[in-house]
Amino acid sequence: MNSSLPAAPPELPVPEVSIIVPARNEEANLGACLESLIAQTGVTFEIIVADDSSTDRTRDIAQSFAGVRVISPGTPPADSTGKSWTGKNNAVVAGAKEARAPWLLFTDADTVHLPGSLERALAEARKEQADLLSYSPEQVVVTFAERAVMPIIFAELAVQYPPRKVREQNSVAANGQYILVRRAAYDAVGGHSAVATEILEDVALARLFRNAGKRVYFRYGGDAVRTRMYRNWPQLREGWTKNLALLFPQPTRLALQTLLFWMLAWSALAIAVSGALTQHFLWMLSAAFWLLFYRRIRAAHFAVANNLIAIAFGPPIFAYLLLRSKKAHASGQVSWKGRAYSTGASGEKISSKNASHEPIPGIESRRVRAKC
């Protein structure tokens, strides 16, 4: 009788990149995301889906893909002050613990990755000597609400946070939809665990890297990845309510400025049309103000049709979302995907002290593609 012990299973080779996908109730998006990730070539990788207590078919969809590991992060813990981690941070921390590669890619379940993009991103990170590389994806918009307000928001973000400063390392930005990090640097700064209670965890993580002397590289990444942030008005409203007061230090002032600019633009256009009809050429010069408004929107690189829809209908919606976000943060609580998060601002006025002054995700040359 052969009494020798069975041979140990061979160890799997260490991949170059571990792809970590946090997912909570993402049955509408996850399939396309994983299909695009599995199809990547030119680099070895593993895919880890962190199913964040989904109540839909998210887990079943993830498990239907051969080679994809599915983990359960569990209930988000609290930090030493009693403030709860966000669900996404809890999920990516769990995924990072399971990852084996020297590079980690954190990417959202609503992203779709272009062929060969992972290989190119890794090569770009090495070329730029980046410890953290982040892409701002091409944004896909479909519904009227998306097409009306997204160009306004991203145009204002481009004004508030000029991407040139990011490229010159004078400021910092990152987009949580696509963050590629060197594992050694990620662990050295504490990773997502160090920013686990932050609602804008991507910016906070990039700031950790920069403050530790690590190189952060951020650009528009429409050549690599695209995403649709929100699929309907309730999602859009909840998502921007969560974020806008953190992105703009004076939301009330910006809301009023936006509405005033919108009314002046329409008044100028009406005067210009009247001038054209009556051949008062001096009045026709009023169209220049409207063109300035269009140029401001165009800076966010949206499609022409979306720009026109945004000019016509977007500013009042943006103003409403700004004020709604300020009110929610002032009350001390925002919600997202069925969870409530403390903002730490209950009873306080949202001010520049509470707001982020660092560049934020999605500010660099975002082109938006509309499906008709």
**pLDDT grade, residue 337 (50/70/90)?**
confident
Structure confidence at residue 300 (pLDDT)? 77
Q: Which helix (H) or strand (E) holds 287?
A: helix 287-298
User: Are 266 and 202 within one domain?
Assistant: no
We report the CATH number of the domain holding residue 55 as 3.90.550.10
Cβ atoms of 217 and 127 closer than 8 Å: no
CA distance 301 to 136: 13
- CB contact at 8 A, 352 and 249: yes
Q: Check pLDDT > 70 for residue 302.
A: yes
Q: Please give the Cα distance from 107 to 23 (Å, whole number).
A: 10
In this structure, the answer to whether residues 169 and 246 fall within a common structural domain is: no
Query: CA 154 to CA 167: how far, in whole Å?
Result: 18
Q: Quick one: 135 and 112 in the same domain? A: yes
User: Given pLDDT bands bounded at 50, 70 and 90, which one contains residue 7?
Assistant: low
**First and final C-alpha spacing in the chain:** 71
Does residue 253 sit in the same domain as residue 189? no
Residues 205, 117 share a domain: yes
pLDDT at position 370 over 60? no
Q: Are residues 221 and 305 in the same domain?
A: no
Mean pLDDT of 286-291: 64
- Mean pLDDT value of segment 22-28: 96
Q: Is 247 within a domain?
A: yes
pLDDT at residue 351, rounded to an integer = 35
**Given 231, 255, 272, which residue is the final one in a domain?**
231
Cα gap 231→111, rounded to integer Å: 13
Same domain? For 226 and 272 the reply is: no
180 and 73 within one domain: yes
Domain boundary among 204, 231, 258: 231
Mean pLDDT of 205-214: 93
Instruction: Please check whether residue 153 lies inside any domain of the structure.
Output: no
The helices-and-strands tally (H runs, E runs) of the chain is 13, 13
Identify the band that residue 139 occupies on the pLDDT scale cut at 50, 70 and 90: confident
68-82, 93-107, 235-249, 358-372, range with the lowest pLDDT:
358-372
Quote the CA–CA distance of 85 and 49 in Å, as a whole number: 19
**Whether 211 and 266 share a structural domain:** no
- Same domain, yes or no: 316 and 345: yes
Same domain, 262 and 329: yes
Within a domain: residue 40?
A: yes
Residue ending a domain, among 189, 213, 231, is 231
Q: Is residue 170 part of a domain?
A: yes
| Mean pLDDT of the residues in the chain | 84
Token pair of 210 as six digits: 């920069």
- 182 and 221 share a domain? yes
Number of domains composing the chain: 2
Q: What pLDDT, in 10s, does the model give residues 41-90?
A: 999 999 999 999 999 999 999 999 999 999 999 999 988 777 889 999 99
- When pLDDT is averaged across residues 217-243 and rounded to a whole number, the result is 93
In whole angstroms, give the CA distance from residue 333 to residue 320: 18
pTM: 0.84
**Cβ atoms within 10 Å, residue 233:** 14
Is 149 inside any structural domain? Answer: no
Q: Which domain range does residue 227 map to?
A: 17-143+161-231
- The answer to whether residue 11 is domain-embedded is no
Question: 110 in a domain, yes or no?
Answer: yes
The mean pLDDT of 137-147, rounded to a whole number, is: 92
Asked whether residue 181 is domain-assigned, the answer is yes
